[in-house]
Amino acid sequence: MRKLLTAILIFSSVTSFAQNIRVGSKHFNEGYILSEIISQLFESEGYTVQRKYNLGGTLVCFEALRNNAIDVYPEYSGTISSEILKQSQLNYSEINSALQKKFNLEIGVPYGFNNSYALVCRKELSEQFGLTTITDLIKNPSLRVGLSYEFLKRQDGWDNLKANYSLPQPAVGLEHGLAYQALAQQKIDVTDAYSTDGEIPKYNLTVLRDDRNFFPSYEATSLYSKSVDDRIKKILTKLDGKISESNMQAMNAAVLYQKKTFAEVATQFLISELSIASTKIKTASITADVLSKTATHLLLTFSALFIAILVAVPLGVWLHWRPRISASVLYFTSLLQTIPSIALLAILIPVFGIGTFPAIVALFIYALLPILRNTLTGLQSIDPLLKTVANGIGMNRFQKLKLVEFPLAMPTLLAGIRTAAVINVGTATLAAFIGAGGLGEFIVTGLALNSTELILRGAIPAAALALTLEFGFSFLEKWWVPKHLQSK
Amino acid sequence: MKTVELNRVSHSYNGQTVLNNVSVSFEEKKATAIIGKSGSGKSTLLKTLNGLVLPTSGQVTIFGEAFDYEQVNAIRLRMGYMVQGTGLFPHLTIAENISIAGRITSTKINSRDRINELMALVSLPESFKKKYSYELSGGEQQRVGICRALFLNPPILLMDEPLGALDPITRQEIQHEILKLQQVEPRTILLVTHDMREAKKLADYIVVLDKGEVQQFDTTEKVLSQPATQAVKDLIDASLS
C-alpha cells in the first residue's frame, strides 16, 4: 500500500525542470508526426522531452497549454481562429495578437504548409486538361465532381465555392472513404480532400490551387505560452517554412501506407530537411511496452478505486445513520456519474492540469457512486429484526457496524467495488486523452492510424484486466463471505 | 425485592396511545407473563425495559435506579433478550452467535467453557457449534437463542414471544427447557405472550394488558381463578376453553 502511495506521489509531482520541455499532441496522424518532429528537435538540442501525446482534441490541448501542463503543441491557424478565438476571417497576425492579448499565448511562423480543404484530381487528368487551379475547372464542364457529404453541406464547402468560381459542374455526394477509390477507378474526376492527406501521393493526385483564396487558411505552426523561455522560441524557429505540403503528404503516407512509426518519420524529416541528426530512437519491445502500459493502467485504476473505497464506504456508513439526507447525496453522485467521461476529463484540466492526477480524480468520481450506493443498500437492506436484536444485546453503533452490519452488507459492498473496478478499467483507457498513459494510448493511437492491430494491443489487455478483476473479486467474495450468504 | 419497576409509564407513537399510565413492578427471580391481544401494547411494554422504546412520560426503574439512557448498552448487557424467530445472525456460526455478547463487554469469560455449558443445558449437541443457523430447525434455533441470551448470565431475561412461531410439540419442549432453567438458576423473567396456557405453565405472575392499560396484575393462580375484567375473562376463555 505504501509503495502504491509513493508511486502516486512520484507520478503526480513530476514537474518541469530547466532543460525540460513538455510537448503535447492532438490524437491524429499529422498531430503525432509534427509533435514528434518538435520533440526530436528539442532532444537534439539537449532537452529532456516529456511527450504528452494523445491529448483529446483542440480543447484538451489548448486547456493543457493554458494551464501550464504542456509547453508547446502544433496547431492550425484556422482552428485557432474558429475554435479558440471564435472569430472567423482573421489573418495570421490578427490571430497572433488576439492570442497574446486574450490568453498570453503566441504562435510561431507557419511551418510552411496549409492543411485546408482542397479539390484534387488524377495527375494524368490534370496534364490532359491542363488543370492546375480551381479556375481551370470552368473550362472543362464535363468533369464529374463527387464530393463528401460534409463538404457539400459546409459553409466553406461546395455551394459557396461553386458560386465564387462560377463552376458549371453539378456534384454528387459520396462517402469520403470511398472517394479516393472512386477517383482511382475513374468513376469520378474531382473530389474534395485535405491538402496534406497521405492519399494524395499514394494515388498520385494533383491538388488544384485555390487561386481565389476561397478556403480559409489552416497554416500549421507551434502554439506556446508567450512567457516560455526565449531559447525554446528560438529552437522552434528552425521549423519556420520548412515543411511543405508535399513533405507533409509524404510523411502522412509513410505512416499510413509504409507502416513507419511517427518517430521514424520525424527522424527522417529532420535528417533530410534540416540536417539534424536526432538522438537515436529507442524501440521498446512490444511486450515490454504492453506491460509498462498495463502497469500504468493498473496504477490509475487501483489508486482511484482505493481512494474511492476510503471515501465512499465511510460516507455510506455516515449516510446510513442519517437516512434523511442519504437520498439527496445519492442523487448528487448519480449526477456526477452521468457526465460523459471525455467531458469530465476536459472539465478537470483547468483545475488539475493533465496527466495522472486528473485522470485518477476522474476515475475516483466514477468509482464513487457504485461503492457508495452499494454500501448504503447493503446496510439498509439488513433484516430490521437483526438490528433490533443487536441493539437489544447491548451493542453500540460501532459494535453493531463491525459485528453485524458490515459482515451482512459485505456481499453487496463487494459487488459495488467490483462494478467500480470494472468500470474503471474501461474508463481508464480514456485517460490517454489527457496524457495519463495506460493501455488507452494504444487505442487512441490505433484509432488515429486506423490500425486494428494497435487498437487490439490496448483493447485485449484491457479486456483481460476487466475479466481478471471480475474473477479476482468473486474469488475474494468466496473466501470472505460464508457460502450461504454469497450473492448468486 | 423489585428488580424492575414501571411508574405511570405512557408511550404514544404517531399520536396513537400504545401504553397508558402503566405502573407495575416485577418480583426478583420470578417469571412474569405479559399477556394481551395483538395491539394491546405488551411488546412495547417489554421494550421500555431495555430502552428500545422510550416512555413518552413516566419512569422506568431497573435494579433500584432510574433507567439511565446514557448507559443503555451497559444496562442491556445485564438483560438477556430473546425475540420471535430467534434473530440469530446468519453470518455467524452457532458458537459465535451464542458468545456474541462476550465480544462487546470487557468482562472476562472463558467463552469455550461457557458455550459448552449452555449448549448442554438446553440439550444441543456439540457438533452444532460450527454450523450456521440455516442448518438448524426452528426449535434448535430457539435453543441457541436461549443460550445467547444467557451467555453473560444476566439477572433479567426479556422474552418477546420467543415461541410464537414454533409448532405445538417443539413449543412444549422449549417451555420445558425454560422451566428447567428456572429450577437450576432462577432469574427475573419477563415473558410476552398471547397464550394464556403458556402463561399458566411458565409464569408465577401475570400482567394482563388491553388497549395499553393494565387490566389485572396478580399471581397466575389469582388471575385465572378471579379475572378482574371482561377483557381478562375473554383471554382466558379464548386460550383455555
B30 alpha-carbon distance from chain centroid: 12
Q: Distances in Å between the alpha carbon of A474 and those of A286, A483, A487?
A: 31, 12, 9
Rounded to a whole number of angstroms, the distance from the CA of B232 to the nearest CA of chain A is 30
Residues of chain B with Cβ-Cβ distance to A388 below 8 Å are 52, 83, 87
Torsion over CA: A354, A355, A357, A361 (sign): positive
Question: What share of chain B has pLDDT > 70, as a percent?
Answer: 99
Cβ neighbours for A8, distance < 8 A, ≥ 6 positions apart:
A299, A303, A356, A360
d(CA A293, CA A464): 14
For the segment B113-141, the average pLDDT, to the nearest whole number, is: 92
**Residue predicted with more confidence, B86 or A190:** A190
d(CA B4, CA B26): 5
The per-residue pLDDT for range B109-122, each reduced to its tens digit, is: 888 999 999 999 88
Rounded to a whole number of angstroms, the distance from the CA of B221 to the nearest CA of chain A is 31
d(CA A274, CA A272): 6
**Residue predicted with more confidence, A50 or A16:** A50
For the segment B4-24, the average pLDDT, to the nearest whole number, is: 92
Cβ neighbours for A311, distance < 8 A, ≥ 6 positions apart:
A364, A368
The per-residue pLDDT for range B74-85, each reduced to its tens digit, is: 999 999 999 988
Select from B69, B91, B192 the residue whose CB has the most chain A CBs within 10 Å, as the one to mutate to test that interface. Answer: B91
3-state secondary structure of B83: strand
Instruction: Give Dmax (Cα) for chain A.
Output: 99
Instruction: Give Dmax (Cα) for chain B.
Output: 51
For residue B117, which of B190, B191, B184, B187 has the smallest C-alpha distance? Answer: B184
Select from B48, B83, B100 the residue whose CB has the most chain A CBs within 10 Å, as the one to mutate to test that interface. Answer: B100
Residues of chain A with Cβ-Cβ distance to B81 below 8 Å are 389, 392-393
Cβ neighbours for B163, distance < 8 A, ≥ 6 positions apart:
B84, B142, B171, B174, B175, B193, B198
**Mean of per-residue pLDDT scores for chain A:** 87
Residue-level pLDDT at A23: 93
For residue B212, which of B56, B40, B60, B58 has the smallest C-alpha distance? Answer: B40
Select from A382, A393, A484 the residue whose CB has the most chain B CBs within 10 Å, as the one to mutate to test that interface. Answer: A393
For the segment A138-146, the average pLDDT, to the nearest whole number, is: 92
Tell me the whole-structure pTM to 2 decimals.
0.71
Q: Distances in Å between the alpha carbon of A149 and those of A76, A158, A164?
A: 23, 10, 19
A121-125, A445-449, B53-57: least confidently modelled range: A445-449
B23 residue type, one letter: S
For the segment B138-156, the average pLDDT, to the nearest whole number, is: 92
Residue-level pLDDT at A17: 42
A50-64, A379-393, B139-153: least confidently modelled range: A50-64
Q: Which residues of A touch B (CB under 8 A)?
A: 385-386, 388-389, 391-396, 399, 403-404, 407-408, 481-482, 484-485
Rounded to a whole number of angstroms, the distance from the CA of A408 to the nearest CA of chain B is 7
The per-residue pLDDT for range A382-431, each reduced to its tens digit, is: 999 999 999 999 999 999 999 999 999 999 999 999 999 999 999 998 88
Question: What share of chain A has pLDDT > 90, as a percent?
Answer: 44
d(CA A231, CA A487): 63
